[in-house]
Amino acid sequence: MKKSRITGVGHYVPDQIITNEYLSTIIDTNNEWIIERTGIEERRWFTPGKDTVTSMSLAASTLAIKRAGIANKDIDFIVFATITPDYFVPGNGVLLQRELGIQGVPALDVRNACSGFIYALSVADQFIKTGMYKTILVVGAEIQSSALDKSDAGRSSAVIFADGAGAAILQAVDQDQPGILSSHLHADGDFAEELYLKDPGSSREVRLSPEIVDNPSFKMYMNGNTVFKHAVVRFNEVILEALEANGKNKAEIDLLVPHQANLRISNYIQQKMGLPDEKVFNNIMKLGNTTAGTIPIALSEAWEQGRLKEGDLVCLAAFGSGFTWASALLTW
């Protein structure tokens, strides 16, 4: 049986930089408050008319394909993680497929928010292990700024969420090669309404109306305290689960790449795991929380910075809406 290996990574973030200072001109907030609560100094928001989820994912995928040393036609399958597709229907996977010029290649969309990329990575890994596909493109991409409540009422989420795309190429390799060791997926729907965007939902008498658009249900809602309390527990659990499943310990991790939810969460997990700064990758300070995009963007930046070396033990971990949480352990 084959195993999966990440052979190329790429990312794209919009040109438009949104600073804390700018947000303080439209929301009752300030730079010190945002940094203290989130660790974010600035984030990227898309430029209407230029950036789409499709165009951003195409740029990220093209870079990942180049770095993997393959051609578009070598891709057997696309797994696309996003909660902000360009269209309500169809999903974004087929739109990316069209832009890559690989019509006929299957495309699957994953809607697991912050855990979306690891869920998508796990799905791709299983397809490679079974021998069904040999080369899979896995993408995480979001445009969230257009759905944010940019008023004082939406302050807690408006300062956090951002836009961007990341991509990874997974290829089949022999068992003695570096690659994905295991993935671990969890969910608890009891907390679905603690971090969600209710409308437009299909179970309304009218899916979209002026009343719905003007209602708070049309904006992102997040119970920050509840999310934080569960995140710090689940992050730690799912990382330890991955290590235990592979007979590894915390000290053996060369790089932890957590979902960039909040720098306070990442720092807490780092302290809990006893990892030095050089073993944890964070970029939320400059890019904000791009949900499904955070981990592949971080992997791409880490690779560019020389922080991913062949044979390194890398742990990916995420927690978010659903609640869902997940981890993957791999050798680079």
- Domain range summary for the chain, segments of one domain joined by +: 3-173, 180-331
* Residue 108, burial from CB neighbour count under 10 angstroms (0-12, 13-18, 19+): middle
Domain at 3-173, CATH class: alpha beta
Report the C-alpha dihedral over residues 9, 312, 124, 90, rounded to 10 degrees. Answer: -30
Of 130, 124, 126, 128, which is closest to residue 109 (Cα–Cα)? Answer: 124
Does the annotation mark 30 as catalytic?
Answer: no
The domain defined by 180-331 carries CATH number 3.40.47.10: yes
Given 282, 283, 289, 315, the catalytic residue: 289
289 tagged catalytic: yes
Is 259 among the residues known to form the active site? yes
Same fold yes or no, 3-173 and 180-331: yes
Condensed to tens digits (0 to 9), the pLDDT of residues 187-244 reads 999 998 888 777 777 777 777 777 766 677 767 777 878 988 999 999 999 999 999 9
pTM: 0.96
Kind plus residue range of the DSSP H or E element containing 120: helix 116-129
CA atoms within a 13 Å half-sphere pointing along the CA-CB vector of 311? 0
Q: What are the pLDDT digits (tens) for 287-320? A: 999 999 999 999 999 999 999 999 999 999 999 9
Pairing of strands 180-187, 324-331: antiparallel
Contact status, residue 322 vs residue 226, Cβ threshold 8 Å: no
Going by pLDDT thresholds of 50, 70 and 90, the confidence category of residue 266 is very high
* Listed residue (304, 305, 329, 327) closest to 9, CA to CA: 304
| Annotated active-site residue in 184, 259, 262, 283 | 259
Q: Active site residue: 11, 114, 184, 230, which one? A: 114
* Contact between residue 11 and residue 167 where contact means Cβ atoms under 8 Å apart: yes
